[in-house]
Structure 1
Amino acid sequence: MTEDARFEDARGGPLRLRALDADDLQVISSLCQDAIFPITEMAWDRKARRFGLLLNRLRREDRLVAQGTEVERVRTVLAIEDVTAVQTNGIDRTDHDTVLSVLAVTMEPGEDGTGRVLITLAGDGAVAVDVEALEVTLRDVTQPYRAPSGKIPAHDD
């Protein structure tokens, strides 16, 4: 019998971060840039007031990935708490073969601590998540793996 891969076998351990303000969210946004996910890995649990994405995140925090020497991804859960509403724009949620790419995760403040977490996607798509208060977590849930493309995505300025 073979064993599953473990984080202890890789360079660095799993990330587990929480954002409670805009500065914290900026860190999470930079780590989520170029993460990809099938549209089927997006869910809102109304009763628990939680919205989540299961991302294939580029491991930008790894020195070799940052240098472009190796390109690794890791499965990561991005969870948003205290959610009151979720809206999408520019994506067809009925097309279950759609794969989306994250460009940024930002906060548009509202009144009395409320606001909207905006997940901007490549191709003019977006997910807007209304919250009573900002609480976003990012947690790696699998062993890192070599990215099939072997490349870091390039962006036009």
Structure 2
Amino acid sequence: MAATPLQDAPSLRLHALDSEDLALLSAHLQDALVRVGDIAFMPGKRRFALVGSRFDWAAEMEGRLERCRAGLHFEGVQRVRCQKVSRDQPDAILDLLAVTFEPAGEPPGGTIRLTFAGGAAICLDVECVEAMLTDLGPRWKTAARPKHDLSHADPGYSSS
């Protein structure tokens, strides 16, 4: 059954330049579904990007269950480390739980951590917080409110 687009929903476009901005961006991305094949690091451009289907929590507060394709990218990325994210399984789906920033010893640099359900994580070593979240298309109704298992959280990660 094909998704029916909703035409009258507003598009989201957020820019994050510090940890407070990133927390707002994270709230809008909670429970976004991301296909591993839709994640990319472009070292020459120092950019990390992904596309996912974000659940619209604002619409849920109004009694609507909706998702929207959204793009997220980070600038000034120096290194990417992954845990439990297998690039040889491009169709695997990750459920994004949070996006956080851990400052380094020398501001404004640090690590942006994308935490996914099931213990998966992607850590970005960045020069500073610079992220953009943009809705990419129409919304569609979804049958259920997101649920996920937090029992497998693991703070470690490996280089990739």
Structure 2 length as normaliser, TM-score?
Answer: 0.85
Indicate the structure with greater strand content. Answer: 2
What is the distance in 1 between the residues matched to 2:92 and 2:149? 23
Alpha-carbon displacement from aligned partner over 1:92-115 (angstroms, at most 9, x marks no partner): 221122110100000010113111
Counterpart check, 1:130 vs 2:125: yes
Counterpart check, 1:71 vs 2:69: no
The 3-state SS of whatever aligns with 1:105 is strand
Code of the residue aligned with 2:144 in structure 1: it is: K
What is residue 146 of structure 2 aligned with on the other side? 153
Matching of residues 1-157 of structure 1 within 5 Å: 9-11=7-9, 13-62=10-59, 65-67=60-62, 69-110=63-104, 111-147=106-142, 150-154=143-147
The 3-state SS of whatever aligns with 1:142 is strand
What is the distance in 1 between the residues matched to 2:91 and 2:71? 20
Structure 2: stretches of 5+ with no match in the other structure = 151-160
The 3-state SS of whatever aligns with 2:118 is coil
What is the distance in 1 between the residues matched to 2:135 and 2:35? 17
Code of the residue aligned with 1:24 in structure 2: it is: D
Q: Percent identity?
A: 34
Q: How many residues align?
A: 145
What is the distance in 2 between the residues matched to 1:35 and 1:66? 17
What is the distance in 1 between the residues matched to 2:72 and 2:24? 13
User: 1:155 Cα shift?
Assistant: 5.2
The 3-state SS of whatever aligns with 1:14 is coil
User: 1:70 Cα shift?
Assistant: 2.2
* 4+ aligned runs moved over 6 Å, structure 1: none
The 3-state SS of whatever aligns with 1:41 is strand
Structure 1: stretches of 5+ with no match in the other structure = none
The 3-state SS of whatever aligns with 2:34 is strand
Structure 1 length as normaliser, TM-score?
Answer: 0.86
What is residue 153 of structure 2 aligned with on the other side? none
What is the distance in 2 between the residues matched to 1:37 and 1:123? 13
For the aligned residue pairs, the C-alpha RMSD in angstroms reads 1.6
